[in-house]
Amino acid sequence: MFIGKSEFYERYTTGCLLGKGGNGQVYAGYRNIDHFPVAIKVVSKKRLVEGSINHKNVRVPIEVALLHKSRHVKGVIKLMEYTELPDCFVIIMERKVNSIKDDCKDLYDFITDQHRANGCVNEELAKKIFKQVVQTVIDLEKLNVLHGDIKDENILIDTQTNDIKLIDFGAGNKLFEEKSYHTYHGTRVYAPPEWIKHKSYTASGLNVWSLGVLLYDLITGDIPFKDDNATMAAKLSFPNHAIISDGAKDLIRSCLNLSVQSRINLTDILNHPWFGNHPWFGLSNEVYSDTKHQGIETLPSDCETKFQENSKSLSQQPKYTGKSQITSLAKPFNGPSSVTSLVILESQIETMVMHSCHKQPFFKKLLKLLTLPITFLLSGIRSGCIVSDMV
């Protein structure tokens, strides 16, 4: 892990500057013995912590300590070695090589390129990327590691596999679940409103808020709040040119809630219906209604209980609850009860198919094909009901 200054110069060659920020400068480099690509980061001696690494008491930059602690987390860049020079520390990490095909880039450049080429980041791709980031943050929480600066520039993505790596732990800290932090070293536009207003925040509050900003950025191509006043107001709006699903909007709103207590829990994010765990979130705007719903006893009790638990922390409109979603199908229709009943019946069939086979795509497609004649039949009957009532 630790190597002397002479060993560092013998083992590695430092190349061009890759980037610099508030936490140091990063250079491209390689290991001399096999030309293995590495990233060489030079950091100051400002934020040092004392601890034990490989059974040795050390005084190192907090980034080294956090990288060492999270060395087994899949979504975190790997620390290889570090050394101390008279006026700085040098951290050697694995480097995802920017090949001629440009297979690796930070998420900021990836989002920019996607929006230039396609107008947006496809939501299915956004789900895959965001899910990895959230899982990485959850894994770090279990190790009591707070990254402290979750943003697009601190995430590397392999454009061939869409796998991500979280980098730059220079703004990080040890995670205390109940502690309020009074110093913030991350990026201002990703900071939660409680920090802007009260100079105080919790680890979970920061993580969820930053993830909400990241998801908004991933889907729309821009951050939701440009200055402190906008952050403290937290008036969320979505660009008219972007086609964004109700599920994505709801998850973003749930993360970017002004109230820390009402913000969605980190562990509940992956259970959010946007990820496909609950089929009724895929409904079009024409069928979905934001009006207050009355529940009906149609869902299996285990599914209903699970969804209600997950939805306790969801916040702001539109709110989705386990019972109310199927009822909402009937809301846009002002026709007779026969039409409403048919709509509900169709939705129940769809829910049954999706809920039963959501982990087996092949069987889901097969079952949907088999139920297609029933759906057409119900549609025909419903149309007949509507015509007869009009007459």
Rounded Cα distance, 280 and 273, in Å: 8
The dihedral built from the CA positions of residue 361, 367, 370 and 376, taken in this order, carries a sign that is: negative
- With contact defined as beta carbons under 8 Å apart, do 191 and 160 qualify? no
Q: Rg of the chain's alpha carbons, rounded to an integer?
A: 25
- Cross-strand pairs, 146: 173
- With contact defined as beta carbons under 8 Å apart, do 272 and 251 qualify? yes
In this structure, the number of other CB atoms found within 10 A of the CB of residue 189 comes to 17
Q: What is the DSSP letter of 78?
A: P
Tell me the residue type at 27.
Y
- With contact defined as beta carbons under 8 Å apart, do 187 and 97 qualify? no
Q: Which of 94, 52, 48 is nearest to 69 (CA)?
A: 52
- With contact defined as beta carbons under 8 Å apart, do 82 and 1 qualify? yes
Distances (CA, A) of 294 to 322, 325, 326, 345: 11, 9, 10, 17
Say whether 163 is catalytic: no
Rounded Cα distance, 257 and 375, in Å: 39
* Residue among 106, 149, 168, 217 flagged as catalytic: 149
The pair of three-digit structure tokens given for residue 290, joined into one six-digit string: 């934001």
Rounded Cα distance, 139 and 204, in Å: 13
- With contact defined as beta carbons under 8 Å apart, do 8 and 88 qualify? no
Q: Among all residues, which ones are annotated catalytic?
A: 149
